[in-house]
Structure 1
Amino acid sequence: MLALIQRHGLAILDQPYTEYSLEFKQQAIIRVLVKHEPAYQVAIDLGLKSNGMLANWLRSYRENGYNVVIKQKGRSPHAQTRSRNQTSEARKRALTPAELEADRRERIYKKIDRLSRPADQEPQAAEIARAVTQLRHELKVSVTFILAVINANPNLPHLSRSNYYYNLQKKDKDRGNQQVMAEIKAIYEEHRHRYGYRRITLELRRRGLLVNHKKVQRLMNKLKLFGIVSKRWHKYNSYRGTQGPIKTDLIKRNFSAVYPEHKWYSDVTEFKLNGQKTYLSPIVDGCTQEVIAYSISRSPNLKQIMDMLKQAWRKHPALNGLIFHTDQGWQYQHPKFQAWLKDHGIEQSMSRKGNSLDDGLMEGFFGILKREMFYGFEAQFKSLKELEEGIQKYISYYNQQRIKVKLKGLSPLEYRALVLS
């Protein structure tokens, strides 16, 4: 109390009861678990009248799967439980034994079928065992009955009696991994669910935590943290037949380069939002994977491509010997485009007709871009202007923050600095 008065003055004694928000609790917990500040000091800094209040938040955070839970107002949980139990008992008395058994089977089916998991994976045995224990107490039936119902249904994951008791008695081996789990969740949220276990492993190592990628994968499964799943995306096709000289494919699917400004790649992709369209044309470096320059236009015209080239040249004026690779889009066959490349000492390369894999580096970049900031997030953009601002922010994030396994766990700009050092 003396420390509180010294920190906040005597007014702290007259402070009325305060309801703390979810964000307030999250920040307090992060300071203790992630930044490793003493809980006593955090409680004083935040003006908490009791150090036990923060301890309760930390305990609740761990017990609820590393989530902050705000207690709901209204009737107490005991009153709600009594009401539900009374309703359930009255309903049971009204059912015949056969109807009661059918009702119990239906509730078991629903409970097990709703276990959260990725679409292509079975729930873990420990998760099923916890659900079986909950059903025992809710339905007042034996473990044998529940397991028999589960194992008789081919659409449900099966669990043997011995495996149930093994998981029931097995100690939680992750009790000592609370710090790592908190860091994993912080990284996952910081990058807006874009990181899977591989990049989270690399980010943990950047932060000084040497953790095996298999452990990270297991902890993420336990925390129900899953990266964004790939989706098929629509590719804009700018091919209009042969309209100019077609250049040889100098890349032959060997997209990487030893040093920057040796191989550049470009293409145009289309975004559709509320019946309207906008087009992105970027240049990606084959060595650093960074977006060198880009332009956004409401129509896929030659000016967009020329603006992109001039922007790239202003940043990197020494381009003699550079190979510039594209598909056979009409823009890249245009005499003005080809003349600009020749005047700047750039050698042009083109994919073969109908071979999208020849331009695979750009295909991959567009897939990442749309998966991580557009598909599934369309509702966040009210207009094309907001979408274009979102694209610009993502490209900045992609260059400066988004680490890549192929770049030794560095972002594109960090890798450029490493290569040029």
Structure 2
Amino acid sequence: MYSYEDRIRAVELYIKLGKRIAATIRQLGYPTKNALKSWHREYERCHDLPARYVRSRPKYSAEQKKAAVEHYLNHGHCLAGTLRALGYPGRETLAAWVDELHPEARKCVVGKAVGAPQPRELKQAAVIELCTREESARVVAQKIGVSRPTLYNWKNKLLGREVPALMKRHNDSPQAPERADLERQVESLRRNIRQLQLEHDILKKANELLKKDLGVDLQLLTNREKTLLVDALKQTYALPELLAELGLARSSYFYHRARLRVSDKYADVRRAITNIFELNHRCYGYRRVRAALVRQQVFLSEKVVRRLMKQERLAVATTRRRRYGSYLGEISPAPENIINRDFQAAAPNEKWLTDITEFQIPAGKVYLSPVIDCFDGLVVSWSIGTRPDAELVNTMLDAAIETVANSDERPVVHSDRGAHYRWPGWLSRMRDAKLIRSMSRKGCSPDNAACEGFFGRLKTELFYPRDWQAITIEQFIAVVDSYIRWYNEKRIKISLGSLSPREYRESLGLAA
């Protein structure tokens, strides 16, 4: 959007230079060839330009509008793909159409680094009280201290959406026999589902521990291999269930279990190492695994830990190299690069870094915008959505400002030169919160290396090793949100003395 003065200056220079388009654009640095021609035609017609620049928009029929939105929804929620396929409209127009016709297609999750997630035991107790309640669900939610939608969300995750939220029987109802028959059918279906889940978990564990194919015949496994599978799953399923499914006698199980314990003095350590590796997104190398073992009062050398991990085939996924590219355009003056690649901070909330990264999964594209504290790498706030627009970065900045609203801390906020950090909404929020702006040099991603490093760790540990073929956008957003919370609360950083960012702050007596 150019002001009246900018447009009239361009037209006058264009006429002065003999209507040479290239020379005019080269001297001013703006606008485009077509824009300059349009301004000149308007100037010749009216001998002036309108005070406000109005961009003409083509007219589209309702059928074209509906066809464009359906193509967007059916082809991976990709704006660029729809524009290439149909040739119309513009990116902003298509986004507005999607918001108008299908507002539910826009997904966004905003989080900030305050508090810890509720323990699973509390969620289970809350769901039990919800299903056996005498009063309303709102009263139950108020007792626990959460909102009513949160309570129902816990119920859906633990029991499934098909399970009713009130399971009390009403024997005085005239339909009591039909209800009892339906409940018996539901219970039968649950048993069948549990049996299928048991078979699936056994095959999956056989693939992980024994390196067998997912279609392996369980009866062809040796008793020793079956014992390993039972030990791996007995925390989830009852021992009789596992023995019956694998066709393993109880005496044979205890015999091979005793032999395995005698033959391998590191049997318990192997299980502990496997649990640490699996519970931490399969991204811990031998140094972090050893640090986690020390927390459990298990002391081994790095060489032993590395050897055991190699024997168990616990390897961290390697980074996939991608070709570097950057847009070099400038749309407004940029502030000074105050950070100047000095990503060290003596205290929290001195230097913040931010950027946007993209995840492309089969269901569509998802974007993450975090704020990283240079003091210890804590993710101060973050927002996850399906569009890299102003709302994505503005909601993230609002959440970050809330964390320092009651203090005198005014951090430097460093970013690249993207348009997201030059829009009026971002600038007004920075000005109102009295934060200091800092920007990287043009097309120089190493100037924001610490934030890029966080993206690299996230994708190496979470995104690249997994198959997202059957994952929806909502599920993927929840997985990324859960990873960031784990990153703040539990992920070990060797540079912080084998502590997570939150644990490090607590050890220093600082509020996280």
Normalised by the length of structure 1, the TM-score is: 0.59
Shift of 1:49: 9.7
Which stretch shows the higher mean deviation, 306-315 or 50-59? 50-59
Change (3 A) 1:364 1:201: same
SS of the residue corresponding to residue 396 of structure 2 reads helix
Structure ranking higher on relative contact order (CA contacts 8 Å, 6+ apart)? 2
Q: Which amino acid counterpart does residue 480 of structure 2 have in structure 1?
A: I
2:259 pairs with 1:59: yes
Aligned to 2:84: none
Shift of 1:235: 7.6
Change (3 A) 1:192 1:301: closer
2:272 pairs with 1:183: yes
Change (3 A) 1:325 1:58: farther
Query: Does structure 2 retain, via aligned residues, the 8 Å contact 1:240–1:329?
Result: no
Shift of 1:287: 1.2
2:440 pairs with 1:358: no
Shift of 1:217: 1.3
- Equivalent-residue separation in structure 1 for 2:471 and 2:230 (angstroms): 34
Shift of 1:199: 0.7
- Equivalent-residue separation in structure 1 for 2:404 and 2:323 (angstroms): 31
Equivalent runs, 1:9-48 vs 2, <5 Å: 29=231
2:404 pairs with 1:204: no
Aligned to 2:394: 306
Q: Which amino acid counterpart does residue 230 of structure 1 have in structure 2?
A: T
2:378 pairs with 1:290: yes
Q: Which amino acid counterpart does residue 353 of structure 1 have in structure 2?
A: K
CA displacement 1:210-263 (0-9 Å, x = unmatched)? 2222221122123222112222357896x5722223111111222121211111
Shift of 1:371: 1.8
SS of the residue corresponding to residue 290 of structure 2 reads helix
Query: Does structure 1 retain, via aligned residues, the 8 Å contact 2:488–2:501?
Result: yes
Change (3 A) 1:191 1:234: farther
Residue of structure 1 aligned with 2:464, choices 372, 375, 388: 375
Change (3 A) 1:202 1:332: same
Aligned to 1:245: 333
Aligned to 2:8: none
Query: Does structure 1 retain, via aligned residues, the 8 Å contact 2:260–2:267?
Result: no
Query: Does structure 2 retain, via aligned residues, the 8 Å contact 1:266–1:325?
Result: yes
CA displacement 1:28-75 (0-9 Å, x = unmatched)? 74799x9xxxxxxx99xx9x9967742423535887xxxxxxxxxxxx
Aligned to 1:276: 364
Normalised by the length of structure 2, the TM-score is: 0.49
Residue of structure 2 aligned with 1:326, choices 375, 399, 415: 415
Equivalent runs, 1:100-119 vs 2, <5 Å: none
Query: Does structure 2 retain, via aligned residues, the 8 Å contact 1:261–1:319?
Result: no
- Equivalent-residue separation in structure 2 for 1:236 and 1:299 (angstroms): 20
Aligned to 1:391: 480
Residue of structure 2 aligned with 1:266, choices 344, 351, 354: 354
CA displacement 1:345-371 (0-9 Å, x = unmatched)? 211111111221111111111111112
Which stretch shows the higher mean deviation, 259-268 or 209-218? 209-218
2:309 pairs with 1:220: yes
Change (3 A) 1:259 1:219: same
2:283 pairs with 1:194: yes
Query: Does structure 2 retain, via aligned residues, the 8 Å contact 1:282–1:295?
Result: yes
Instruction: Give 5+ residue unaligned stretches, structure 1.
Output: 1-19, 35-41, 64-174
Aligned to 1:231: 320
Give aligned-pair identity as a percent.
Answer: 31
Equivalent runs, 1:68-87 vs 2, <5 Å: none
Aligned to 1:419: 508
Equivalent runs, 1:134-173 vs 2, <5 Å: none
Instruction: Give 5+ residue unaligned stretches, structure 2.
Output: 1-197, 206-225
- Equivalent-residue separation in structure 1 for 2:233 and 2:476 (angstroms): 34
Shift of 1:205: 1.0
